[in-house]
Amino acid sequence: MGLGGCIILIAVGAILTFATDWDMQGVDLDLVGVILMIVGLIGLTTFSSIARRRRMVVPPTTVVEDDRRREPPF
């Protein structure tokens, strides 16, 4: 799940929790909305921690060339 999927989950969960007043038999839409927001937040923190690890800068290594095929100068 990418960043967009996490934001969509949070948005849909907020809409179900705060902006609807539907009554479905056997389903608590407020609870479903809260669960979707929590899953979206967990995905968002996981995505940001993985993205932070990808952005770590590795110091450049020194390349030493060893040309043993060259003959010594005369």
Domain spans of the chain?
3-52
Q: Length of the chain, please?
A: 74
Nearest-angstrom CA–CA distance, 25 and 29? 10
Nearest-angstrom CA–CA distance, 51 and 45? 10
Nearest-angstrom CA–CA distance, 42 and 34? 12
Residues of the chain with pLDDT under 70: 54-58, 66-74
Whole-number pLDDT of residue 22: 86
Cβ pair 45, 29 in contact under 8 A: no
Whole-number pLDDT of residue 70: 64
Residue the block writes with tokens 């999927």: 5
Whole-number pLDDT of residue 19: 93
